[in-house]
Amino acid sequence: MRIKNLFILVILSLALFVSCSKDNLDIDPKGQLLEASYFNNEDDVFMALISAYDPINWTYGWGTSTWMANNAASDDAHSGGDFKGDRPEWDEANYFNISVTNDGPTNLWRKYYAGIYRCNLLLENVASRPNLQTEKVNKYLAEAKFLRAYYYFDLVRFFGDVVLLDHVPGASEYGLTRTPYAEVYNFIVQDLKDAIPVLGTNAEMLGRVDKGAAMALLGKVYLFMSSPYWSLGNHYQDAADQFAEVINLQKYELMEDYDQIFRRANNFNKETIFELNYIESLGMDWDASNPYNRMEGSIDWQMCGLRKPVQAGDTVLFAEGWGAIKPTSELAQAFLSNNDVVRYRASMISKDSLASRGITYTDPYGDEGYVRMKYQIFQEDLPVESNAWNNNNRIIRLADVYLMLAECVVNGATDPTGKGADWYFNEVRTRVNMPTKSGITMDDIILERRLEFAFEGLRYWDVLRWNKGDEIFGNHKTDDPQYQWNPVKKGLWPIPQTEILRSGGSLVQNPGY
């Protein structure tokens, strides 16, 4: 059974206590009596854990999609849609001009704090009940700590200093302030360190985390901490050690066919270390006043499909979407100038190539002559429930670990596996018929990561952590006055104005907003 199927069975009973607040940091104390009487056995804890997983999968929900946000903000894609302002959550991110009242940052903030609240609720209640501290429950707690670390890792990368909560705040805890990002990173590291020894090598259910996912995430956290952007010390060796441990598990392999990594038929394939799991039987609730997304499929893929495709002949290839996240010609040239044919064809296709096959579309806004193929919606995969696509989102895969380990070694770490940076770098390249290189540099890694992970939501944060926002985003579309990259903002998103008001002014806005 998959975790999302199980979630459908348990969410109604959980709703009584996990929704005691819809205002993220403002926790309504009226639910406390029910919470106090709820955690009676292992099954109760497990249902609470499933609830803690749920926000990680929220996609559209008026701006809750991390994947959409990161792709729209990168130089690999235009936010797209039907027209300018069609979806301001991403259109403003596309132009580096995000308003403090934009629904995107607001609902991302709510999404992550909803997940953190659910994790804290579980951890706090079990800690106060010695009878629940069994081996099985300890594994549930380890998963909750992974989830809390994951939520905070996204939060700190979007917003910088954020409110750090290791407990369920009481009714009197108003006026919370932002915690320096260094402390947040240290908190994330400790949660993952606590989780790794307890988690099993194999998850007990598809969609749940295991030791490999936690070690890969911890390695990535160390890599970010080491970067010139965050400047939290040299942790390249710590990161390399974690990546080597993931590799030494010997349970992951590169997929032979790059294109097949991202197809629905290959959910949970041998290359993915952690992915977000979706089902196709529960569609979108369009209630914009509710910050909690009650959809269990992914609407991201629907958002990004071709708008009004016209397909000649008997074979209908594409399902109809809404035209978001359109490839830039700049990315196309990066593929083509490096003769990266395999990844180019798996990631995008030119409008002219489609037209030669009798396929056209009405999709003008942000169109630069290319269509995204990675995570494209195909007619053969049409979901049971409208808009609820069940192609999973690959969050961490082995190629990412290989290139991150290579990056650590280039920056002075010793490779614990003894193979070296060139070996891991070339494993990724030879899979897609690219020539090998020797003596690789950071410039090689920067380009390779762009080509390997196009449209996977990694590019924006990669550019920032390399401290190349001014160089890359500052020179993106310089002929278009709408682009407003501001070095003062450093690529961080604004603290939602609604949260500043709720805090009574104790939350301070990021510079530049």
Q: Give the pLDDT score at 33.
A: 43
Which listed CATH number (1.25.40.390, 3.10.520.10, 3.40.50.10800, 3.20.20.140) goes with 3-265+492-502? 1.25.40.390
Residues 167, 455: Cα–Cα separation, whole Å: 35
Residues 407, 395: Cα–Cα separation, whole Å: 19
Torsion of CA 290, 302, 394, 236, to 10 degrees: -70
List all residues 6 or more positions away from 138 whose beta carbon is below 8 Å from its beta carbon. 198
Which stretches within 95-252 are classed as H helix? Answer: 103-127, 135-159, 181-195, 211-226, 236-248
Q: Which two tokens stand for residue 73?
A: 């903000």
* Strand 77-80 versus strand 324-327 pairing type: antiparallel
CB 143 within 8 A of CB 115: no
Distance of alpha carbon 112 from its chain centroid, rounded?
A: 11
CB 484 within 8 A of CB 470: no
List all residues 6 or more positions away from 315 whose beta carbon is below 8 Å from its beta carbon. none
In 10 A of CB 398, how many CB atoms? Answer: 24
Q: Give the start-to-end residue ranges of the domains of the chain.
A: 3-265+492-502
The pTM (predicted TM-score) of the whole model is 0.93
CB 199 within 8 A of CB 48: no
Give the DSSP per-residue string, 35-50: HHHH--SHHHHHHHHH
The rounded average pLDDT for each run of 10 residues, N- to C-terminus, in the chain (513 residues) is: 54 39 41 66 96 92 91 97 93 96 96 97 94 95 98 98 95 89 98 98 94 98 98 98 98 98 97 95 70 76 93 87 96 98 98 93 93 96 90 98 98 98 98 98 98 98 98 94 96 97 94 97
Q: Give the pLDDT score at 26.
A: 41
